[in-house]
Structure 1
Amino acid sequence: MFDRSKWVIKTQDPELVSALADSLKISPVCARLLINRGYTDPISAQAFLEKTDSELYDPYLLCDMDKAVRRTEEALKSGEKITIYGDYDVDGVTSVSIMYMYLHEHGANVDYYIPARENEGYGLNFSAIDSIAKSGTTLIITVDTGITATEDVKYAKSIGVDIIITDHHQCRSDIPLAEAVVNPKRPDCEYPFKELSGVGVAFKLICALELSSKNNGSYDKSVINDMCKQYIDLVTIGTIADVMPLVGENRIIVSSGLKMLQNTQKIGIRALFKATGIDYDNPKKITSSFIGYTIAPRINAVGRIGNAGRAVQLFLAESPKVADIIADELCNTNRRRQELENEIFLEAVSQIEKEHNISNENVIVLSSDHWHHGVIGIVASRLTERYNFPSVLISFEGDGVIGKGSARSVKGLNLASALAACSDTLCKYGGHELAAGLTVERDKLNEFKKKLSEYTKEHLDRDESIQKTVIDAEIESDEINEDTVRAVSRLDPFGAGNATPLFIFKNAMILQVLPLSMGKHSKLILTRDGESFTTLFFGANIAELGFSQGDEVDILCGIDINEFRGMKSIQLIARDIDYSDEAKTNLCEMQKECDEFIFEGRTPFLSDVPNKSECSAIYRGLISALGGDIGVVTIKQLISSGSSSYIKTGVALAAFKQLDFISIEKISLFEYKITIRKFKEKKDIFAAPIMSGKAR
């Protein structure tokens, strides 16, 4: 069953909705969505809807930007070799790409370096600095990394290499003494928008360089517009992939970038899109979801289990043939990543269920000598989502003394602060509130586990960490139309900080439940108020849904337009489902009766006693639903194609129990844990006392 207790329906003041709708000449649905996102007055709401580049701030408002520009220009004029040092994720790869493109175009002697995740791990390191220095580099510009590299910066300086840091990660108390440190999260930085991605900060540096070149550093909107036309598509990919909140500058960047990506001329991006099935002769709309769930994993894959430099080569490619080869390589690497991820996930779940008592713990810390550390971050995310706990996965890979870890958290626990509290047990650490990386010595692992457990026990707010499903508003039958779809689309792009609007559609009757994609997904045909509505439920097959024809339900859903062969139709995209209040009341009454049949031996009416063929069908359905000799089922799962009623199924289960065909234990309101018992001789189902029934 789905957990309705986590549904939170937002409410809005009707007068405020009406006033905002009238002032901006928008629909009440659009007004409700804006109010939910904090835009309650016409000025802020209009600015949010317009998404104009007037909100792109002067890059020189970033602390140390003038120093970064001055030192970079010195290197450009003197012909010094510059090396761009980036991270191996999408944010880092796109940062390296735009910085390299810009500097190369302006005649720089420029190279780039991305550390190998497997051998070097995250961030700057002495060995990499030595290698870069030996190549003749005298200036390193970091992108999406470097804010915690205090010792690395000192070392580089000692061997004659200057470093400019551009980063967006959380700062520590000791800011590195680099030539410049450009990071909107610096405590002393008064930049108006703090949530830029790493590639967003890199973009600000090349914009500042261009303003210096074209306009002596003074802000010029036309210069910024030209820079957007050249680079905003890659900035958009990195911003979405790094799950940055799509508000403020990020919203403007991504909105503009998605339009540019619709018909991008960058050979590498086109090749990657084509490899995922995009047909530029008949392109579908490029959305933030497509970038986040289809494009980003392919770029990330080579950084996880391959060579992140290949993604940079893709974006810098000038030959379509070369780009196609690299794009296919990224797709193949991503398939291998998926296989590794699933193997590690299953092993981690098994480890948790065998060795951990989740009810008594506040954090999950797991380690292994054979997990690929490039994949453990994704697995940590899946574990955190499954168990609703912070999780840390650490890979020692063989007999290694140093383990590399990835951590994910839940709302209510700041990971960066948690790891800082355990810093004396770690070699390195860094990251954000909800995601971080670390390295730890094997002989300090247990001490780290203990300290982290103590910290989470004291600081984790369990009430805050419970993942709630926030619903924007109830939607009526007459609002399920193209006008509402257009109202919703005015708020895009959607992503972190601006979730896709979610509605609740109440008291709808299921007419049909149909399988999709070989049973991986489901399609529901609903009816209410004389209208029918197509609803798609991704990631749940018919059995997992547990609903059938005739059920009255409430659906949590988004709303979209489906286009097929030139025809448009409205469809609902379901996120969750439950019985309507009235249906649930009736269901609970029937469930109570069934429990009394099964556990108290209550005698049913004769009309509720199943016949022999019905009992056989229910038993076969039970075997199928269990998938073995033991498992958890609901009565709803056993009702197949209307062949038996809820009450008759409950009576049949009681009969099976009385005849010792099964053992049955109630574990939740609707769920039973059932074990099939072996029996040598046949028994007449009507030998069960409950099958005698009674007259009404």
Structure 2
Amino acid sequence: MADGTASLGYLGVERSLSGRLWRERPADAEVVRRHQLGLGLSEPLARALASRGVTAEGGVDYLNPTLKALFPDPSSFVDMDLAAKILIDGLIADRPMTVFADYDVDGASSAAQLVRWFRTQGKELPIYVPDRLTEGYGPSPAAFRRIRESGVELVITVDCGAAAYEALACAKEIGLDVVVIDHHLMRDEIPEVAALVNPNRPGCGSGQGVLAAAGVVFVLMAALNREARGRGLFEDRPEPDLRQWLDLAAMGAICDVTQLVGFNRALTTQGLKVMSAWRNPGLKALLEVAKGSGPAGVFHAGFILGPRINAGGRIGRSDLGARLLSTDDPEEAAMLAAELDGLNASRKEVEREILEEAIRVVERESNQEGAALTMVAADGWHPGVIGIVASRLKERYRKPALVIGIDRAANIGKGSGRSQTGVNLGRAVQAAYDEGLLLAGGGHAMAAGLSVRPDTIPDLRAFLNERLADEAQAAAEQDGLDIDALITTGGADRGLYQSFQALAPFGPGNPEPMFAVANARVERPMALRGGHVRVTLTDGSGGRLKAVAWRAEDTEAGRRLLNEGGAIHVAGRLKPDDWQGRESVELEIEDVADPRRVG
């Protein structure tokens, strides 16, 4: 390693205060050299690029990902051409059609894209979003019957439907045609539908399995343009420019925590550029009510806009997000944004209360120790926030987490899980369903949802722990912190931050650069409301670097930061600090190690 401690770990850290091994992110030396020479990059930046699996030939497309270079052939998706034909047939025949969407950001942004495309063709598509509390996730026979009774002949499901076998069988019985656009894992059995487009369906050779549903819909719109062009539909009206809706595709990709690689990376990069113009009335109104500003980035989408769009489906009316993203009326957008902002504030309070109770339950239950996943269940927990709570528990205990809220009156538990790299939670939940332990269940590698009878929860816990044991053990052994570069408090400035932004946007598959500061001393430690810890770091370089550790006050790392004794190693991500126009940076602390306890 660069610091001469390859046998021990980066800076000699084999076990940090959070129990992790620190590693230098591995990179091929020859690829690093070629990135330096061919792209004119500094050694640390060239190393970071190579360590993300970018070949010497792929550097240009990675740093400047374009749709032209990376857009997949729509025909490579099973049923994509068939879906486009069915939808254009429906448009020409003016068939009554409805978009059936999931209630999260990916579902809302997928629905909004389709609504906006059909609007350019003079057809307004209604949106149906199931209520999380009364209808649950995805299509149901009851929902499809209501839709059919209203006169609808064709339904397009987005971000749901691929695993809704019972509902799709019902649709066939009642004469309701269904086109499924989804990305979730599914069984080998393909349901009988008019068309099913899903890069993760068995036999699909598109190679685009990392896409969110919003990305699949964006490719579908390209197929719609091609089909409509071939039918002469654009002879008397302009062909829709799909680039105007890239902001919606990017929202789905970021908020569904998809792998930002290949075409999906280009979709997100170009989508953030489009978003930065804030032409979508809903996104603009939401930014204003949240008091946000500036060019759009992953933070805007994932932490400012996304949670507010999700709030409607979590604790409010499920269709608010889709309505916000599809409206062209600034007044309606402002009204919906204000409602979603208020719901988001309420969601935070509900989430805080459930998280605190969940932690208490976890820490008093002896069956959590040594388990493959952290699993906790209790009466009355709101199903709209348990997914967020699961994410927090995963961060805290560094293993997959599953949170179940039980409704005793209905005799049902609704669960939501979040996983870690190397542990396929969605596959395990699907296996539990196949074993008869669940009423419903599915998802993908990193997230899953389920419904279960309360008296089956102990059996489910045992099944998942056994099923995930090997994967979880392997993941725990690999649970380390990969460092991109060693910096000093004096060298951590806006120039360094900006240079590494060449790798953005960051997310799964393209991690945000992780920097380490060695032998730093803590000055002015302060505990903030919400359990955060703020400090100033200094080292031998003579510089001072502001730093913050989120939700760390009750952790060993947080306690070490609040006690100023002795030097520490710190790892984290650089963030811009523009307070009062200073254009500086601060370190968002990820981990802390004590040099006296390394190895």
Q: Deviations over 1:133-167 (max 9, x none)?
A: 01111111110111112232222112111111110
Mapping 1:78-97, distance limit 5 Å: 78-97=93-112
CA drift at 1:355: 3.2
Q: Deviations over 1:168-219 (max 9, x none)?
A: 01121111111111111122111132211011111211221112223569xx
Aligned length: 571
Q: What is aligned with 1:368?
A: 378
Q: What is aligned with 1:612?
A: none
Cα gap change, 1:523 to 1:130, in 2 (>3 Å): same
1:9 to 24, 27, 51: 24
CA drift at 1:248: 0.9
Q: Distance in 1 between matches of 2:347 and 2:584?
A: 36
Cα gap change, 1:449 to 1:481, in 2 (>3 Å): closer
Mapping 1:204-243, distance limit 5 Å: 204-214=219-229, 226-229=241-244, 231-243=245-257
Cα gap change, 1:307 to 1:361, in 2 (>3 Å): same
Cα contact 1:426–1:440 (8 A) shared by 2: yes
Cα gap change, 1:471 to 1:380, in 2 (>3 Å): same
Cα gap change, 1:151 to 1:567, in 2 (>3 Å): closer
For the pair 1:534 / 2:545, whether they are aligned, the reply is yes
Q: Distance in 1 between matches of 2:140 and 2:474?
A: 38
Cα contact 2:165–2:191 (8 A) shared by 1: yes
Q: Distance in 2 between matches of 1:4 and 1:70?
A: 55
Gaps of 5+ in 2: 1-15, 233-237
Cα contact 2:287–2:305 (8 A) shared by 1: yes
2:517 to 495, 505, 511: 505
2:442 to 430, 436, 449: 430
Cα gap change, 1:14 to 1:505, in 2 (>3 Å): farther
**1:554 alignment partner, SS class:** strand
Cα contact 1:411–1:465 (8 A) shared by 2: no
For the pair 1:150 / 2:162, whether they are aligned, the reply is no
Q: What is aligned with 1:294?
A: 304
CA drift at 1:226: 2.2
Q: Distance in 1 between matches of 2:310 and 2:473?
A: 32
Q: What is aligned with 2:77?
A: 62
Mapping 1:374-523, distance limit 5 Å: 374-423=384-433, 424-457=436-469, 460-464=472-476, 467-475=479-487, 480-510=492-522, 512-515=523-526, 520-523=532-535
Letter in 1 for 2:182: D
Q: Distance in 2 between matches of 1:577 and 1:551?
A: 13
Q: Distance in 1 between matches of 2:30 and 2:365?
A: 55
CA RMSD of aligned residues (A): 2.7
Q: Distance in 1 between matches of 2:407 and 2:297?
A: 38
Cα contact 2:28–2:51 (8 A) shared by 1: no
2:183 to 156, 159, 168: 168
Cα gap change, 1:576 to 1:395, in 2 (>3 Å): closer
Letter in 1 for 2:204: C
Q: Deviations over 1:419-460 (max 9, x none)?
A: 233221211111011211111223433333333333234653
Cα gap change, 1:59 to 1:543, in 2 (>3 Å): closer
Q: Distance in 2 between matches of 1:168 and 1:118?
A: 23
Q: TM (normalized to structure 2)?
A: 0.88
Q: What is aligned with 1:553?
A: 568
Letter in 1 for 2:100: Y
Cα gap change, 1:100 to 1:129, in 2 (>3 Å): same
CA drift at 1:570: 4.5
CA drift at 1:98: 1.2
Q: Is 165-174 or 560-569 further displaced after alignment?
A: 560-569
CA drift at 1:252: 0.8
Q: Distance in 2 between matches of 1:85 and 1:441?
A: 27
Q: What is aligned with 1:308?
A: 318
Q: Distance in 2 between matches of 1:243 and 1:12?
A: 25
Mapping 1:235-274, distance limit 5 Å: 235-274=249-288
CA drift at 1:24: 1.6
Letter in 2 for 1:263: A
Q: What is aligned with 1:356?
A: 366
Q: Distance in 2 between matches of 1:543 and 1:160?
A: 60
Q: Distance in 2 between matches of 1:362 and 1:116?
A: 32
Letter in 2 for 1:348: A
For the pair 1:136 / 2:147, whether they are aligned, the reply is no
Cα contact 1:87–1:115 (8 A) shared by 2: yes
Q: TM (normalized to structure 1)?
A: 0.77
Cα gap change, 1:502 to 1:267, in 2 (>3 Å): same
Q: Percent identity?
A: 32
Q: Deviations over 1:387-427 (max 9, x none)?
A: 23433322232321232221223334322222233221211
Q: Which has the higher relative contact order, 1 or 2, with Cα contacts under 8 A spaced 6 or more apart? A: 2
Q: Deviations over 1:548-571 (max 9, x none)?
A: 667333221333453344443354
Q: Distance in 2 between matches of 1:543 and 1:392?
A: 25
Q: Distance in 2 between matches of 1:114 and 1:259?
A: 29
Q: Which has the larger radius of gyration?
A: 1
Q: Is 340-349 or 443-452 further displaced after alignment?
A: 443-452
Cα gap change, 1:465 to 1:154, in 2 (>3 Å): farther
Gaps of 5+ in 1: 218-222, 589-668, 670-696
CA drift at 1:505: 2.2
Cα gap change, 1:49 to 1:564, in 2 (>3 Å): same
CA drift at 1:331: 1.2
Q: Distance in 1 between matches of 2:41 and 2:286?
A: 38
Q: Distance in 2 between matches of 1:308 and 1:392?
A: 23
Letter in 2 for 1:260: V
CA drift at 1:575: 2.6
1:332 to 342, 365, 370: 342
Q: Distance in 2 between matches of 1:491 and 1:556?
A: 19
CA drift at 1:322: 2.5
Q: What is aligned with 1:107?
A: 122
Q: What is aligned with 2:577?
A: 562
Q: What is aligned with 1:321?
A: 331
Cα gap change, 1:566 to 1:429, in 2 (>3 Å): closer
Cα gap change, 1:556 to 1:180, in 2 (>3 Å): same
Cα gap change, 1:65 to 1:137, in 2 (>3 Å): same
Q: What is aligned with 1:48?
A: 62
Q: Deviations over 1:467-495 (max 9, x none)?
A: 32211122357754454323201100111
**2:125 alignment partner, SS class:** strand
